[in-house]
Amino acid sequence: VQLVESGGGLVQAGGSLRLSCVVSGLNLDDYAMGWFRQAPGKEREGITCMSIRGFMKYDSDATKDRFAIKSDLARNAIYLQMDNLNPEDTAVYYCAAVHVSTFLTNNYHYRGCPSSAMAIWGQGALVTVSS
């Protein structure tokens, strides 16, 4: 099983980036997926999580108006569209997965999608936003 993020980089404040997470070794339809980030000196935080069919979803109040998660079952991938970026968004961004039954049974979408809930992680993609 492998999750591989791409699309990170340097962007000016107000700009946009789209992160990709290509999944191999598991059926995306059986999993809940999420995007997380960790800024220097801070704890890892959940940005958005959802069961792939979108029945259950969590979006962080801090980013829900600017960031959006999407899935592409044909490509076995998820994406994070990030708009109107600001320097506070500078962080390493991770995609992660957990079996959908675990996600729904534990109501993780109501619990802020804790990073401890996720079982499989990508290697991370660095996003740097300059002012």
Partners of residue 100 on adjacent β-strands? none
pLDDT of residue 104: 86
Give the model's pLDDT for residue 111.
87
pLDDT of residue 86: 97
- Which residues are CB-neighbours of 105 under 8 A, at least 6 positions away? none
* 113 torsion bin: left (phi>0), alpha (psi -120 to 50), beta (else): left
Give the pLDDT score at 112: 85
Alpha-helical runs (H) found in 2-131: 100-105
Cross-strand partners of 80 = 19, 69
Task: Give pLDDT < 70 ranges for the chain.
Answer: 54
Q: What is the pLDDT of residue 119?
A: 94
